[in-house]
Structure 1
Amino acid sequence: MAAITRLAKPSSSISYLRRCLSTSISSETNPLFSSRKDPKDRNVQWVFLGCPGVGKGTYASRLCNLLGVPHIATGDLVREELASSGPLSQQLSEIVNQGKLVSDQIIINLLSKRLEAGEAKGESGFILDGFPRTINQAEILEGVTDIDLVVNLKLQEDVLLEKCLGRRICSECGKNFNLASINVKGENGNPGISMAPLLPPAHCTGKLITRSDDTEAVVKERLRVYSEKSQPVEEFYRSRGKLLEFDLPGGIPQSWPKLLEALNLDDYEEKQSAAA
């Protein structure tokens, strides 16, 4: 399966992203990146889409560990910049706390820096989490490299809201947990969903903090903005035959094996475990 083959480093992608910045991120004024590698000669180049709080980071990270590729989450890049007290910190703080989307120019700038750092470390392949979020970003990414697959994780809004409000972060180790115990009965054509809380170990319990943007008002605004912006991006990849819609059936124990099955990786995890 082409998805599990090796990738040659796309070093020109960094300079391409930087050229996009200097030309107002217009894909029409930039030639497409031409030296693409055959899929059989590289590792996976996937994108994970989904509403805030749906679990993109959790599932993308698990797949990255399984396939041996880096997990690049634009949300993490934004939070790292916020914590750095750099020149963008104050501007990003105002945007995030209002539940708005960060501009294409800022996101692409952060992503280009991340790719540059990864190239220096010899990284290959990737799973992008949280990018692209707009048609403009999708067109730029298409000019940079070939995306093999776009996984669109889906979950009903009331469950998403409850999940986001239950999120906690350990202020010491930085790991994510969730205190929400979700048990939604099926109705109006929607299936029932049960999700157990992801509780912290004892040494993290007294150190949990809530993200500043995980308030009900901000989460609802983020979901509204995402829904408005995501439709064209989904259609962009659907029209290219690259979109995989995946409705999460529950928490990680229920969803992980189903996701592996949908990706034709259900026997790959077993082979990796046997070889370890």
Structure 2
Amino acid sequence: MAAMTRIFKPQFSSIFKRSLSTSTVTEDVNKARCFQWVFLGCPGVGKGTYASKLSNLLGVPHIATGDLVRHELSTSGPLSSQLEVINQGKLVSDEIIFNLLSKRLEDGESRGESGFILDGFPRTIRQAEILDSVTEIDLVVNLKLREDVLIEKCLGRRTCSECGKGFNVASINVKAKNGLPAMIMPPLPPPPNCASKLISRADDTESVVKERLRVYKEKSQPVEDYYRKQGKLMEFDLPGGIPESWPKLLEALNLDDYNHKKSAVA
């Protein structure tokens, strides 16, 4: 735990301060890039996709604990033998996650990084409480999507074994039912040079995906209530795929004007 305390320094100042309804966010972005944001949501909802896009827009690192775990597994690192539970849809222990995250933040600090967008952490109340004890989270974005669509998305995920980029071969077109909205999400196909090199994640099977969703509801949904009580939670229902959802998310974050200005400069 000492390592976590050392890495999360006060220099990561809060600049958002729950001002979602104001127009000062764009001004703050231009003044400093010390965002400390968390992305929550069920497995497969798209946390990594949207966190990564915001990371590129705001110039702060996107840190996905799931990627840290999979990297450790792929390199057969010292913790890899303790990480096999991820392929069964179970949560990795807090201690291991803290070790991986602390190392990532330490490496980033040595490269001059400040701020972060966390994806996949915290997943339990205990993790959230420990995170609060060492730093201040400015905003928690909770992405939401109907469960049947989540399952289809997870089963359609593919990764290029050569370049490492992610794609999705699922063509989702579900009807409205039981008060849930209709949802259309076209596939995100790979370019020709990646098409023959696609692989599926070991944990993207229907049984494992359903287990991950069950575990999330049991362990992680209380985290939503934890941040809701702090007034830091912003709920966002994804209306569709990336082309439809991305501009609406920027609007919800009051970053749409900033995005337009940055695009114009580029």
TM-score after normalising by structure 1: 0.87
2:37 to 35, 46, 63: 46
Question: How many residues are aligned here?
Answer: 250
Alpha-carbon separation, structure 1, partners of 2:261 and 2:65: 31
In structure 1, the gaps of 5 or more residues are: 1-11, 19-32
Output one character per residue of 1:156-201: Cα deviation in whole Å (capped at 9) or x when no partner: 1100000000000100000000000000111211111100100000
Output one character per residue of 1:240-267: Cα deviation in whole Å (capped at 9) or x when no partner: 0000010100000110011001101111
Partner residue in 1 for 2:250 = 260
Alpha-carbon separation, structure 2, partners of 1:14 and 1:250: 40
Conserved in 2, the CA contact under 8 Å of 1:57 and 1:129?
A: yes
Conserved in 1, the CA contact under 8 Å of 2:12 and 2:34?
A: no
Instruction: Tell me how far 1:14 sits from its aligned partner.
Output: 3.9
In structure 2, the gaps of 5 or more residues are: 16-31
Instruction: Tell me how far 1:145 sits from its aligned partner.
Output: 1.0
Q: Which moved more, 1:183-192 or 1:72-81?
A: 183-192
Output one character per residue of 1:22-55: Cα deviation in whole Å (capped at 9) or x when no partner: xxxxxxxxxxx89466434652110000111000
2:135 to 145, 150, 153: 145
Instruction: Tell me how far 1:275 sits from its aligned partner.
Output: 1.7
SS of the aligned residue for 1:267 comes to helix
Instruction: Tell me how far 1:125 sits from its aligned partner.
Output: 1.0
Partner residue in 2 for 1:193 = 183
Conserved in 2, the CA contact under 8 Å of 1:134 and 1:232?
A: yes
Conserved in 1, the CA contact under 8 Å of 2:13 and 2:34?
A: no
Instruction: Tell me how far 1:13 sits from its aligned partner.
Output: 8.1
Alpha-carbon separation, structure 2, partners of 1:17 and 1:184: 48
1:121 to 90, 111, 136: 111
Alpha-carbon separation, structure 2, partners of 1:35 and 1:70: 17
Pairing of 1:109-258 with structure 2 (within 5 A)? 109-258=99-248
2:5 to 16, 22, 30: 16
Partner residue in 1 for 2:70 = 79
Q: Tell me the percent identity.
A: 74
Instruction: Tell me how far 1:17 sits from its aligned partner.
Output: 6.8
Conserved in 1, the CA contact under 8 Å of 2:83 and 2:92?
A: yes
Alpha-carbon separation, structure 1, partners of 2:258 and 2:224: 27
Instruction: Tell me how far 1:89 sits from its aligned partner.
Output: 1.0
Instruction: Tell me how far 1:103 sits from its aligned partner.
Output: 0.8
